A = this chain, B = another copy of it.
Amino acid sequence: MKPQAEPRSAYPYFQPITTRWMDNDVYGHVNNVVYYSYFDTVVNTYLIRQGVLDVTSGDTIGLVIETQCNYFSSLSFPETVIAGLRVARLGTSSVRYEVGLFSGDDEVAAAQGHFIHVYVDRVTRRPVPLPGALREALLPLATGAMTGQE
């Protein structure tokens, strides 16, 4: 099944990300790697602003276990990219985020993909249930998401 670019209406949360000169590769477009730095940024900005990511002293850490991206059309410096974010699955100890990247006023995504966090104990690195505050902070992004047991 060929992936289809989705519209802005598929995402409940948006954040602008400014591109950088060095994002462009030799072909004059944002390099495929850099898209993932936008994914990383929209997810972690949301978590920090919600107060549910404590990088230095939280008991639990979100480890990234899988990322993926489909590229439909190109992005280029110096445009500002709009990143849309949703939670597609809220499991017992994992979260599947889905991100769409939009160029200018385009109604459909230039690229979209996912990013899976599994929460582990900072010391033992064993999976733990998502902290309650995190789960609560993610619910507004999870409209329509499957929740519950993994």
A-to-B contact residues, CB < 8 Å: 3, 16-22, 24-28, 31-34, 36-41, 43-45, 48-49, 55-56, 61, 63-71, 77-78
B61 and A71 within 8 A (CB): no
A21 and B17 within 8 A (CB): no
B69 and A27 within 8 A (CB): no
What separation, in Å, do the CA atoms of A74 and B19 have in the docked complex? 21
Kindly list chain B residues whose C-beta atoms are within 8 Å of the C-beta of A28.
26, 55-56
A70 and B65 within 8 A (CB): yes
A36 and B32 within 8 A (CB): yes
Known: A18-B16, A27-B61. A68 touches B71 (CB 8 A): no
Kindly list chain B residues whose C-beta atoms are within 8 Å of the C-beta of A39.
33
A55 and B40 within 8 A (CB): no
A135 to chain B, nearest CB (A): 21
A103 to chain B, nearest CB (A): 16
Kindly list chain B residues whose C-beta atoms are within 8 Å of the C-beta of A16.
18
